């Protein structure tokens, strides 16, 4: 189990770096294209397509990291003073729903990857499946996080969680 948690910890760290890089690259690429279009009257022909790929990858990486940090949308419909047993039951139900969503993302994401691998993106010539693969990757991470939380296993990543949550409000933590 140590090897699995170490692998996912490394993967999460690399994905945070990739997400930051994608966001910066997307801003630079779009800014350069806007400058070229409006100042030099010529744009970068592949910039919109590449920016779309970057935003899709960034979104699904952020989704997986959001599940890791439990940043998903939640509603506080029940009073805060419910019994600990019911609170635990609701937490486990949340984990089961997260597992199900991770499975759906992997299953249908893989179908989309296979289906779109036969076509290419027009400006770059890259297989169109590059747009759908992050759905599968994110699904694997969501499934892992849901399983670890459901089983109550320590992921040994408290220090990484602290780093990721530094930008959150005190009331969110």
pLDDT tens digits for range 26-84: 999 999 999 999 999 888 889 999 999 999 999 999 998 888 887 777 666 666 778 88
> What mean pLDDT is predicted for residues 75-100?
82
Structural domains of the chain, count: 1
Is residue 55 a part of any domain in this protein? yes
Is residue 172 a part of any domain in this protein? no
- Between CA 140 and CA 128 the distance in angstroms is 20
Q: What's the pLDDT score for residue 102?
A: 94
Is residue 81 a part of any domain in this protein? yes
Q: What angle do CA 132, 138, 144 make, to 5 degrees?
A: 145
Is residue 171 a part of any domain in this protein? no
Is residue 85 a part of any domain in this protein? yes
Is residue 173 a part of any domain in this protein? no
Which domain range does residue 111 map to? 2-164
Is residue 36 a part of any domain in this protein? yes
Is residue 53 a part of any domain in this protein? yes
Phi, psi of 89 (to 5 degrees): -60, -45
Tell me the pTM. Answer: 0.78
- Between CA 173 and CA 169 the distance in angstroms is 7
End-to-end Cα spacing for the chain: 27
Q: What's the pLDDT score for residue 132?
A: 93
- Between CA 133 and CA 88 the distance in angstroms is 34
- Between CA 66 and CA 56 the distance in angstroms is 15
């Amino acid at each position: 189990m140590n090897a699995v948690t170490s692998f996912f910890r490394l993967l999460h760290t690399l994905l945070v770096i990739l997400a930051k890089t994608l966001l910066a690259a997307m801003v630079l690429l779009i800014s350069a294209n806007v400058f070229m279009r409006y100042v030099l009257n010529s744009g970068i022909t592949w910039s919109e397509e590449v920016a779309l790929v970057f935003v899709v990858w960034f979104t699904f990486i952020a989704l997986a990291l959001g599940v890791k940090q439990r940043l998903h949308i939640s509603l506080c419909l029940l009073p805060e003073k419910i019994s600990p047993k019911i609170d635990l039951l609701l937490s486990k139900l949340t984990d089961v729903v997260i597992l199900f969503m991770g499975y759906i993302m992997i299953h249908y994401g893989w179908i989309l990857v296979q289906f779109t691998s036969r076509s290419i993106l027009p400006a770059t010539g890259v297989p169109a499946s590059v747009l759908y693969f992050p759905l599968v990757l994110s699904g694997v991470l969501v499934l892992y996080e849901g399983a670890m939380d459901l089983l109550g296993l320590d992921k040994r990543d408290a220090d990484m969680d602290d780093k990721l949550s530094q930008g959150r409000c005190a009331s969110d933590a």
